[in-house]
Structure 1
Amino acid sequence: MQRIVVYGVTGAGKSTLAAAIGARTGLPYHPVDDLTWEPGWVEVPVAVQRERIAAVCAGDRWVIDSAYQSWIDIASARADLIVGLDLPRWRCLARLLRRTLSRVVTRAPICNGNTESLREVFTRDSIVLQQFRSYPRKKARMRAWVTDPSMPPVVLLRTPAAVRDWLATM
């Protein structure tokens, strides 16, 4: 497997797993948020996102840590494998809250130098609300991919232990 998409809901651990796959296999890891957000939390226009993702996916070796609906067709057409993190909502939400609060306190820069703030947690664009809105759709999408012959092979991992065990086989 030389081209891998790690997919899941917000807070599932996509970036962590994609980075670990890259480190374990030597595949270049491309954090998708760096391709889709500019400084100041300016969202990159979809057409530019598609160009950036197409450039990454044109390569022979890569790992990406998500697949947005607006360009999943590009990534899935080139992927050798999709790893779906099909974890329970409570676990993803707990991870998301812990990660977000840690970033708020430490002001750790993410995706092109952006930082998270407590104020943003309580807006209608909140990453926490995004998790609630997207969870059912992303779960259903992952599960449908398993039986879709037009998709590359899909591995669904449902527990942290399953993630660790699968990663050990890489």
Structure 2
Amino acid sequence: MTVPSRVLIYGVHGSGKSTLAARLATRLGLPWYPVDDLLWEPGWVEVPVAEQRNRIAQICRRDHWILDGAYHGWRDVPLARADLVVGLDYPRWLSFGWLLRRTVRRVVSGEEICNGNRESWHSVLSAESILVWHLTGFGRMRRRMRAWQADPSGPPVLLFRHPADLERWLTDLPGR
């Protein structure tokens, strides 16, 4: 197995992308660039899409990176350079359960997420809630991962439908 140098991790909100990115960064000795840090300014101000694209493009020009997500305005940039896409294609009940527990924990603890931003009960109960994003985006993201895997012109895509399968892959993955 060739050890990848440029890895895109993709999945629905709450599927474990950032957790996996941190583990892969340690295992492979690659720099991890948390996407939330690149997309959100303090006060949950979204970075304009053109600037998001510029930030992602700067990272993707490098020889070594891990990104823990890809969004509409710039998804093509990491896909064009990735050696590997890891898709976390878990059942909805599993990823939503993880997201719900994580969200409640973050609200209660006041844990910082990115650039000083924190989740609040107000944000969780709003129309822009990450829980709503999960529910409305799940099917679309799943179809996208599966289409990527079926496309021979794109980077290789490993889809994991169960956490145990991911753990087996990680165990067998050579480090740097």
Report if TM-score (shorter chain) is over 0.5: yes
Q: In 2, distance between residues paired with 1:70 and 1:82?
A: 18
Return the match for 2:76 from 70, 73, 78.
73
1:31-85 residue CA offsets vs partner (Å, 9 max, x unmatched): 0000000000000000000000001111100001001121111000010000000
Q: In 2, distance between residues paired with 1:98 and 1:53?
A: 29
Return the match for 1:98 from 93, 96, 101.
101
| Residue 41 (structure 1) aligns with | 44
Q: In 2, distance between residues paired with 1:24 and 1:101?
A: 29
State the identity %.
55
Shift of 1:168: 1.4
Segments of 5+ residues of structure 2 without an aligned counterpart are none
Q: In 1, distance between residues paired with 2:150 and 2:96?
A: 27
- Please state if 1:132 is matched with 2:97: no
Shift of 1:23: 0.7
Q: In 2, distance between residues paired with 1:80 and 1:153?
A: 7
| Residue 148 (structure 1) aligns with | 151
| Residue 59 (structure 1) aligns with | 62
Shift of 1:169: 2.1
Shift of 1:119: 1.3
Q: In 2, distance between residues paired with 1:162 and 1:34?
A: 29
SS at match of 1:110: strand
Q: In 2, distance between residues paired with 1:72 and 1:23?
A: 24
Q: TM-score, normalised by structure 2?
A: 0.95
| Residue 115 (structure 2) aligns with | 112
1:87-119 residue CA offsets vs partner (Å, 9 max, x unmatched): 000001000000000000110101111000011
Q: In 1, distance between residues paired with 2:29 and 2:115?
A: 23
Q: In 1, distance between residues paired with 2:101 and 2:64?
A: 32
Give runs of aligned pairs for residues 10-49 of structure 1, distance below 5 A.
Answer: 10-49=13-52
CA RMSD of aligned residues (A): 0.7
Shift of 1:147: 1.2
Segments of 5+ residues of structure 1 without an aligned counterpart are none
Q: In 1, distance between residues paired with 2:60 and 2:114?
A: 19
Return the match for 1:9 from 9, 12, 33.
12
Q: In 2, distance between residues paired with 1:66 and 1:160?
A: 18
Q: How many residues align?
A: 170
Shift of 1:124: 0.5
Amino acid of the residue matched to residue 66 of structure 2?
V
| Residue 82 (structure 1) aligns with | 85
